[in-house]
């Protein structure tokens, strides 16, 4: 240790350097400004063509980046990450296929014309837990809404994110997008992120990540869409099919080892159902911990009351082993039965790992109160899940809780994120005013566009003219000329064969084209 410290001291630069990455990142913002200005003129057909090309590139890279992300971050499950990546490609574009955020809308009845105006430059953060799927998702939102986007990935996932952004940008440019539409910071640091978040050349921040990061985005002085942490309570009603409910919950908890913030955190059921639900959970592949195991788990998972980040996205077996007990290798989830919930029980906080806290209550009313108590601690505005057949109970549960989505009879990880329900597919789960966020629904491309409204006099004596012959303001991309300018052709000196100068020119041209392609 001492040796390596000495070596570091010897290698430290003799000149005190400013962070070169920050300067380079500021240049990315200017470049994005140009790209955004150009892209804002694109018409709907060009936009959809680029969105499809980006989705295809994303789809093609789904497996590669799933492997890369798991390798780089040590979190999650390759197969599940691949699924998430794929879902954030074509299905996401499909979902917004009919949402036109490009063409002006004419509302003759209200005598109004609405012209979409993209935000401009988006500065987007991606978390270590869902790095590439979040990057895919935000990219496609930006492309659909005609914005340029710059990513600052979580440092743990910078390699896969940088490469993925480059790949998507290349696909976009090949489909006619302006260069630099999709960029990524190579060396993210906290000062760099803070500097970029506060840049007056950034129009909106899309913040996904830890609470402090989201708060920093909102404090930056720039408009921001940030979403708070999750901590979903899931209620299983006595009339629910316990086997099905248990299977959905275990599948959801096991999905990518619970790194989606929509995953169930605390299971709540009635006292009377304890043993049949426990059997169903076991049958679904969960290990239900003994009291002693719960104590070990609590100590390892929340040393000093704070989540041990080593646990995030790890497997149930690994977490059990670290905590000091063994489980059957096929068990995918640890269930920790608890006597109480709330502030005094850390296991009822967000865990981002396949550990499910489980508390029981003597009535539905009490169970609902318990769920709200959990959300009061953390996870307000996020998600909850309900398993049961009684629509009144579902309504009462949702009405009582400080959340903006309650998934019914579906896995919450995928359901609240719009992949197993008809909610908008999203890696930004708006936590609204409950969760100190500006958006309460699943964030979509519509949040990245504002509309200029031409509003005619309401007086019926003033007519609104026919708009059908008015030229649309967005006429598609102008074909960019080749750049840098092609070298002038030298005079030919030798008859026949290829002149050496000409050959050199051709090579130079090719090199220039190559460089252009790579930027």
Partner 1 sequence: MFNYGYFSFDSKDDLLAKAIEYWNPGKTRFWQDAGIDLVIDRREGYFLYDMSGRRLIDLHLNGGTYNFGHRNPELVAVLKSALDYFDMGNHWFPSVARAAFAEKLVRTAPHMKYAIFGAGGAEAVEIALKTARYTTKRRKIVSIIKGYHGHSGLSVATGDDRFSKIFLADRPEEFVQVPFNDIDALDRALRGRDVAAFIIETIPATYGFPMPAEGYLNACQDLCRKYGTLYIADEVQTGLMRTGAMWGWQSYGLEPDLFVTGKGLGGGIYPISACLATERSGGWLHEDGAAHISTSGGSELGCVVGHQVIDILQRPEVISNVHYVAEFFRRSLTRMMAAHSDVFVGIRQRGVILGLEFDHPEGAVAVSRALYENGVWAIFSSLDKRVLQFKPGVLLDAETCQEIIDRMEAAMPRARALLRNMKRVA
Residue numbers annotated as active site: 261
Min separation Cβ 157 and partner 1, Å: 22
HSE at residue 312, side-chain half, CA atoms within 13 A, is 18
Min separation Cβ 500 and partner 1, Å: 11
Alpha carbons 366 and 471: distance in angstroms, whole number: 61
CA 60 to chain CA centroid, Å, is: 19
Q: With CB under 8 A, what is the number of residues at the site for partner 1?
A: 42
Query: Six-digit token pair at 127?
Result: 């978390």
Q: Comparing C-alpha atoms, which of 186, 193, 190, 184 is closest to residue 151?
A: 184
State yes or no: residue 14 binds partner 1 (CB under 8 A). Answer: yes
- Give the residue, chosen from 221, 303, 305, 487, that forms a contact with partner 1 under the rule CB under 8 A: 487
Residues 459-478 that bind partner 1 (CB under 8 A): 478
- Give the residue, chosen from 485, 494, 495, 497, that forms a contact with partner 1 under the rule CB under 8 A: 485
Min separation Cβ 356 and partner 1, Å: 46
Alpha carbons 30 and 179: distance in angstroms, whole number: 12
* CB nearer to partner 1: pick between 446 and 512: 512
- Give the residue, chosen from 324, 480, 510, 514, that forms a contact with partner 1 under the rule CB under 8 A: 480
Q: Tell me the window of 243-251, 317-325, 352-360, 508-516 that interacts with partner 1 (CB under 8 A).
A: 508-516
Q: Comparing C-alpha atoms, which of 89, 86, 94, 90 is closest to residue 66?
A: 86
Beta-bridge mates of residue 406: 384
Query: Three-state secondary structure along 374-391?
Result: HHHHCCCEEEEEEECCCH
* CB nearer to partner 1: pick between 24 and 45: 24
State yes or no: residue 452 binds partner 1 (CB under 8 A). Answer: no
Distances (CA, A) of 269 to 53, 133, 242, 342, 416: 46, 33, 10, 16, 20
* CB nearer to partner 1: pick between 31 and 84: 31
CB 162 within 8 A of CB 133: no
Beta carbons within 10 angstroms of residue 471's beta carbon: 6
* CB nearer to partner 1: pick between 75 and 173: 173
Query: Six-digit token pair at 433?
Result: 């005013």
State yes or no: residue 5 binds partner 1 (CB under 8 A). Answer: no
Q: Comparing C-alpha atoms, which of 233, 134, 240, 255 is closest to residue 184?
A: 134
State yes or no: residue 451 binds partner 1 (CB under 8 A). Answer: no
Min separation Cβ 46 and partner 1, Å: 18
HSE at residue 209, side-chain half, CA atoms within 13 A, is 26
State yes or no: residue 490 binds partner 1 (CB under 8 A). Answer: yes
Residues 124-183 that bind partner 1 (CB under 8 A): 179-180, 183
Min separation Cβ 128 and partner 1, Å: 25
The owner of tokens 């000093």 is 304
Beta carbons within 10 angstroms of residue 325's beta carbon: 18
The distance between the two most distant Cα atoms of the chain, rounded to a whole number of Å, is: 98
- Give the residue, chosen from 399, 469, 488, 495, that forms a contact with partner 1 under the rule CB under 8 A: 488
Beta-bridge mates of residue 165: none
List of residues 6+ apart from 78 with CB closer than 8 A: 63, 66, 67, 70
CB 335 within 8 A of CB 294: no
* CB nearer to partner 1: pick between 195 and 295: 195
State yes or no: residue 201 binds partner 1 (CB under 8 A). Answer: yes
Q: Is the dihedral of CA 50, 51, 56, 60 positive or negative?
A: positive
State yes or no: residue 479 binds partner 1 (CB under 8 A). Answer: no
Site string for partner 1, 16-55 (x = CB under 8 A): xxx-x--xx--xx-xx-xxxxxx-----------------
* CB nearer to partner 1: pick between 365 and 489: 489
State yes or no: residue 515 binds partner 1 (CB under 8 A). Answer: yes
* CB nearer to partner 1: pick between 15 and 495: 15
CB 335 within 8 A of CB 289: yes
* Pairing relationship of beta strands 105-107 and 112-118 according to DSSP bridges: antiparallel
Min separation Cβ 43 and partner 1, Å: 18
State yes or no: residue 117 binds partner 1 (CB under 8 A). Answer: no
- Give the residue, chosen from 292, 508, 510, 513, that forms a contact with partner 1 under the rule CB under 8 A: 508
Query: Six-digit token pair at 82?
Result: 């691949």
- Give the residue, chosen from 15, 399, 462, 469, that forms a contact with partner 1 under the rule CB under 8 A: 15
State yes or no: residue 212 binds partner 1 (CB under 8 A). Answer: no
* CB nearer to partner 1: pick between 41 and 49: 41
State yes or no: residue 481 binds partner 1 (CB under 8 A). Answer: yes
Q: Comparing C-alpha atoms, which of 420, 375, 416 is closest to residue 261?
A: 416
* CB nearer to partner 1: pick between 455 and 508: 508
Distances (CA, A) of 73 to 21, 53, 78: 22, 28, 11
State yes or no: residue 223 binds partner 1 (CB under 8 A). Answer: no
Min separation Cβ 358 and partner 1, Å: 51
Residues 328-357 that bind partner 1 (CB under 8 A): none
List interacting residues with partner 1 (CB under 8 A). Answer: 14-18, 20, 23-24, 27-28, 30-31, 33-38, 179-180, 183, 201, 478, 480-481, 483-485, 487-491, 493, 501, 504-505, 508, 512, 515, 518-519
């Amino acid at each position: 240790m001492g040796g390596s410290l000495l070596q570091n001291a010897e290698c430290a630069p003799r000149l005190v350097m400013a962070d070169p990455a920050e300067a380079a990142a500021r240049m990315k913002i200017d470049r994005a400004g140009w790209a955004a200005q150009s892209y804002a003129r694109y018409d709907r057909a060009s936009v959809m063509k680029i969105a499809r090309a980006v989705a295809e590139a994303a789809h093609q890279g789904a497996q590669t980046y799933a492997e890369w992300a798991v390798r780089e971050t040590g979190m999650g499950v390759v197969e599940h990450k691949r699924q998430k990546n794929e879902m954030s490609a074509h299905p996401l574009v499909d979902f917004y296929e009919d949402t036109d955020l490009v063409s002006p809308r004419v509302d003759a009845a209200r005598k109004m014309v609405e012209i979409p105006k993209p935000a401009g430059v988006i500065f987007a953060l991606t978390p270590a837990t869902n790095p590439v799927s979040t990057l895919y998702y935000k990219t496609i939102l930006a492309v659909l809404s005609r914005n340029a986007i710059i990513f600052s990935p979580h440092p743990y996932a910078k390699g896969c994110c940088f490469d993925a952004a480059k790949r998507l940008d290349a696909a976009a440019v090949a489909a006619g997008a302006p260069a630099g539409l999709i960029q990524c910071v190579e060396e993210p640091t906290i000062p760099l992120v803070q500097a970029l978040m506060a840049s007056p050349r950034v129009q909106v921040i899309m913040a996904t990540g830890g609470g402090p990061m989201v708060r920093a985005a909102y404090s930056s002085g720039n408009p921001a869409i940030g979403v708070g942490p999750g901590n979903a309570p899931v209620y299983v009603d006595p009339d629910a099919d316990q086997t099905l409910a248990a299977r959905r919950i275990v599948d959801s908890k096991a999905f990518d080892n619970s790194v989606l913030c929509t995953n169930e955190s605390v299971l709540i059921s009635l006292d009377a159902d304890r043993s049949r639900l426990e059997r169903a959970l076991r049958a679904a592949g969960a290990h239900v911990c003994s009291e002693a195991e719960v104590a070990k788990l609590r100590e390892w998972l929340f040393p000093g009351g704070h989540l041990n980040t080593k646990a995030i996205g790890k497997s149930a077996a690994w977490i059990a082993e670290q905590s000091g007990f063994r489980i059957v290798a096929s068990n995918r989830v640890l269930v920790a039965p608890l006597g109480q919930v709330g502030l005094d029980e850390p296991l009822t906080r967000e865990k981002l790992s396949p550990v499910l806290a489980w508390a029981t209550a003597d009535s539905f009313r009490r169970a609902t109160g318990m769920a709200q108590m959990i959300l009061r601690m953390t996870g307000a505005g996020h998600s909850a899940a309900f398993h049961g057949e009684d629509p009144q109970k579902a309504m009462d549960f949702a009405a009582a809780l400080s959340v903006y989505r309650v998934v019914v009879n579906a896995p919450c990880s995928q359901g609240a994120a719009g992949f197993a329900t008809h909610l908008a597919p999203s890696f930004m789960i708006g936590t609204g005013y409950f969760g100190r966020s500006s958006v309460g629904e699943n964030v979509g491309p519509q949040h990245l566009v504002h509309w200029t409204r031409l509003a005619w006099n309401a007086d019926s004596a003033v007519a609104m003219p026919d708009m059908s012959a008015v030229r649309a303001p967005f006429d598609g991309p102008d074909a960019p000329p080749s750049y840098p300018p092609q070298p002038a052709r030298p005079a030919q000196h030798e008859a026949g064969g290829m002149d050496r100068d000409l050959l050199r020119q051709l090579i130079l041209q090719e090199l220039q084209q190559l460089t252009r392609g790579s930027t």
